[in-house]
Chains A and B, each alone.
Chain A
Amino acid sequence: MRKALIWLILTALSGGGVVVYALHQQYEEQSAEFRILYRDITVKLSQNDVILALLSNSSDPKVVQQKFPYILRWQTKPHEPPRPDINPARAGTYWINSPQGSLLIDLPTLLADFVRTQKFHHFSLSWKDTPLLTQGAEGKNDWWSWEKHIASPSQPLNLLVTNNPDWRSLPWLGLLLVGVFWAVVIYFYNQYQMTKRQRNIANLRAHFSELARLNAMGEIAAGMVHELNQPLTAILSYSQTAQRLIKQQQAEKAQPLLDASVMQTKRISALLLAFREKLHSDEQALQPVNLRQVWERVVMLLGNEIERGKVSVINRIPESLPPLIASPLGIEQIFHNLLNNAIQAQQQTDKGWVTINASQTADSIILTVTDGGQGLSEQALEQVFMPFFTTRKEGLGLGMALTETLVQRLNGSIQAENSPNGGACFTLIFPFAQQEA
C-alpha cells in the first residue's frame, strides 16, 4: 500500500514535470507563431500606407481594383469633414486617411491568406474596441492569450489571439514510460531491501546461534566443573590425610584412604567417559552425500564472510564424483570449518582464494582444500587439531578439533600441510568401505 502511494507520488511528480515542460514547449511554439502572424499583419498593413502614397488621380481604378481587391474605394483628395476611421456601413472595413487622400480597406480580404492558415482558437483584430475581424470561437476561457498593438500610426489595430493547449499532442507515451520506470525502480529497490533484510536476519541468526552455543558451552563447562570438583575435593582430602597419617607413623591407617582416593579417581574417569557418551549420542543417519552440492551449500552459507573477505572460492569437485556414504550434516560441518578457517586466514590478504579439489581412487575419495593465505606455522601444523589451540584472538580453538573428530567418525583421515606456494592445504581421505565399519 505504501509502495503504491510512493509510486503514485513519484509518477505524479515526474509526470507533472513532463507535462509542464511539454506545455511550456507548446506555449513557446505558439508564441513564435503569434510573433510571425503579428509581423506578417504589420507588413501587410504598412503596405496600405505605401499604396495610399503612390495612388494618384491618374491611376486606373480598374487596374487598382484588380491588383488590390481589398481596396474598395479610394479618393485622392482629403475628405471634408474627415471620414470616420471605422466604416460603420460595412463590417470589417475602415478608412485610412492622409493628406493625399483616403482608402477604404476591406480587412477580411486583405488578410484572407493569414487568417485562413492561422491555427489559433480565437483570433481578432479590433480598432478602438470595435472588432473588425474575428475568427474561431469566443475564446474567453482559453488558457493562453497574446495581445499586441500593431505599430502603425494610420492603422493602430489591436491583435488578440487565444489558444488552448493541445492535450492530444502531450507525450502520453513518455508519461506511461515514466510510470513504468518508477514501478521498476521501486520494484528493484524493494528487492534490494528485502535481500538486505534477509541477509541481516541471517547475520543476526548466526550471531544468536553463536551466542547460544557459547552459553551452552559455558553451562556444560560449569556442570563439568561441579561434577569433577566433588571427587577432586575427596581425593585431595584423602591423600592429604594419608600424608598426615604417614607422618604421624600411622601408615597402616593410610591404606584404606588411598584406596578411597583411587576409587574417586576412577569416578572422575567414569564421569568424563559418561560425559563424552552423552555428547556423542546424537548419531546421524548415513546416506549418500553429493560432496559438490554440500560444498556449494556451505559456500552459500558463508556468502557474507566470503564477500566481506573478498575471497574467491573455486570448486573443482568433478561432477562425476560418486556420492559418499556419510552424514550430510557432518560433511557440511567439516566443509564449513575448513572454508571458514581459510577465509579467516586470509583476512589480511587482498586477493584471497580457496580451492577445493576432489579425486577418486579405487577405495576412497581424496579432497584437498587449499588457500592462498600465509600457511600454518610449524607449531600450528603440529597442534592444529588439538582442542583449544587457536591462532585467533576470539577463536575458541574447537573448530579444527571438531573437524578431525567428524572426519574420524566417518573413518576418514585429515592432514594439514603447507602447499609449495605458501598457503595451508588440508587433505581429507574418506574410504568408500566405511559403511561396513
Chain B
Amino acid sequence: MAQCIYLIDDDEAIRSSLSALLATMGWETKAFESVQCFMEAEPDVQNLNGCLLLDIRMPGKSGITLLENWQQMGSTLPIIMMTGHGSIDLCRRAFKNGAFEFLTKPVDADLLIETVGTALEQQKLSQQHRENQADLQAKLATLSTREHEVMALIMQGKSNKEMARDLSLSPRTVEAHRASLFARLEINSLAKLIKIYGGLKGTT
C-alpha cells in the first residue's frame, strides 16, 4: 500500500494549496474538511500508511481531540499539528500526546516538505517493523499447543530431560516436538529462536 498524506483542515484554500505543494514532491494527498469526514472516509485507522497533517482549531471535533484519542485508536500514523496561534501550552499538550511535529501557520514550504518527508520515512520504518512482526506472529500461530509449551520451557533455559519431567513426557517426544517447532518457525538453532522470537508477544 502506497504512502499517502492525510490532510485535515477546515479551510478550502489551505487544503488545495497544501495539496498542490505536496504534489510537487510526488506525494499523494487526501484532504478532508473535518475530523468527522476523515473518520467516515477512513474508518480503518490502524492500517493507514503515510502521515497526518492536522489543524488544531476547527469547527466540530478539534485537531487536538483527535490527537489525544489517536493512540487509543491504535494508529501509528505520525501526526503533524498545524496551528495559527501556537501557545506554549498547546504545543506541550500536543507533544505529550505523541505529535510528530508542531508547525505554526503560515507554514514555510521547505519546512513542511522536510517535516512530511521525515514523518513518512519514520512511518515506513515502523511499518516494515510491524510487517515483520506480523510475519513472525503468523508463523507462531501454526504451532500446536504442546509445541508452544515446549517453546516456553526452552526459552526458560530448561534441558530436554527437565522438560520431559515437567510435561510428563518422554525425552524422545520432547525432542520430536522441538525439532518440529524449529522446522515450523524456520530456524535451526536455539540462539536464533531466542533472538528472533524472544521479544515477541505470546511467547512466554
Q: 1/0 per residue B1-17: CB within 8 Å of A?
A: 00000000001011011
A 61-81 binary contact with B (CB < 8 Å = 1; else 0): 000000000000000000000
The answer on a CB contact under 8 Å between A244 and B13 is no
Give the size category of A's interface with B: 20 to 34
**In the complex, A267 Cα to B14 Cα: how many Å?**
13
Taken residue by residue from 45 to 73, chain B's Cβ proximity to chain A (1 for < 8 Å, 0 otherwise) reads as 00000000000010000000000000000
Taken together as a complex, chains A and B put the C-alpha atoms of A225 and B83 apart, in Å, by: 11
A226 near B57 with CB under 8 A, answer: yes
User: What residues on A are CB-neighbors of B85 within 8 Å?
Assistant: 222, 225-226, 229
Q: How far is the CB of A221 from chain B (nearest CB, A)?
A: 10
Residue from the set A225, A232, A241, A263 with the largest chain B CB neighbour count within 10 Å: A241
Quick one: CB contact mask for A218-244 with B, threshold 8 Å, 1 for yes?
000010011001111111111011011
A264 located at the interface, meaning its Cβ lies under 8 Å from any Cβ of chain B in the complex: yes
The answer, yes or no, to whether B40 is at the interface (CB within 8 Å) is no
A226/B109 contact (C-beta < 8 A), A241-B21, A244-B21, A260-B17 known: no
B190 within 8 A of partner (CB):
no
* Residue contact A233 to B108, C-beta cutoff 8 Å: no
Residues of the B chain whose Cβ atoms lie less than 8 Å from the Cβ of A235: 17, 106
Minimum distance in angstroms from B163 CB to a CB of chain A: 64
Q: Which one, B13, B21, B24, B109, contacts A231 given CB within 8 A? A: B13
B16 pairs with A260, CB closer than 8 A: yes
> A257 contacts the other chain (Cβ, under 8 Å)?
yes
Min CB distance, A271 to chain B, in Å?
12
Let me know if A281 is at the binding interface, CB within 8 A. Answer: no
B20 within 8 A of A: yes
B187 proximal to A (CB < 8 A): no
* CB proximity of A155 to chain B, nearest CB, Å: 109
Closest to A225 in B: B85
> Does B201 have its Cβ within 8 Å of any Cβ on chain A?
no
Whether B24 lies near A245 (C-beta < 8 A) is: yes
* Contact A236-B13, Cβ < 8 Å, known A230-B84, A245-B24: no
| Minimal Cβ-Cβ distance residue in A for B15 | A234
Instruction: Tell me the minimal C-beta distance from A85 to chain B in angstroms.
Output: 113
* Chain B residues whose CB sits within 8 angstroms of the CB of A232 once the complex forms: 105-106
**Residues in chain A near residue B13, CB distance under 8 A:** 230-231, 234, 260, 263-264, 267
Given A229-B106, A232-B105, also A238-B17 (CB < 8 A): yes
Interface string of B79-118 (1 = CB under 8 A from A): 0000011000000000000000000011111101000000
* Chain A nearest CB, measured from B164 CB (Å): 69
Select which of A236, A248, A261, A267 is within 8 A of B109 by beta carbon.
A236
B18 interface residue, CB < 8 Å from A? yes
Say how far B27's CB is from chain A's closest CB, in angstroms. Answer: 12
Q: Are A240 and B84 in contact (CB under 8 A)?
A: no
Which residues of B from 28 to 44 have beta carbons under 8 Å from A?
none
- Give every chain B residue within 8 A of A234 (Cβ-Cβ): 11, 13-14, 16-17
Q: Could you tell me the distance between the alpha carbons of A245 and B17 in the complex, rounded to whole angstroms?
A: 13
The contact of B18 among A222, A229, A237, A244, by CB within 8 Å, is A237
The distance in angstroms between the C-alpha atoms of A222 and B85, with both chains bound, is 8
Closest chain B residue, CB of each to CB of A248: B24
- Closest chain B residue, CB of each to CB of A229: B84
Beta-carbon contact of A240 and B14 below 8 Å = no
For A230, list chain B residues within 8 Å (CB).
11, 13-14, 84, 105
The docked-state distance in angstroms from the alpha carbon of A263 to that of B18 is 15
Decide if A233 touches B57 in the complex (CB within 8 Å). Answer: no
Q: Which residues of A contact B17 (CB under 8 A)?
A: 233-238, 241, 257, 260-261, 264
CA distance A90 to B123 in the complex (A): 143
* Known A229-B85, A233-B14, A233-B105; further 5 A-B contacts with Cβ < 8 A: A230-B11, A230-B13, A231-B13, A234-B13, A238-B21
- Which positions in B face A, CB cutoff 8 Å? 11, 13-14, 16-18, 20-21, 23-24, 57, 84-85, 105-110, 112
Q: 8 A-B contacts, Cβ less than 8 Å apart?
A: A229-B84, A229-B85, A230-B13, A233-B11, A233-B84, A237-B21, A237-B112, A240-B109
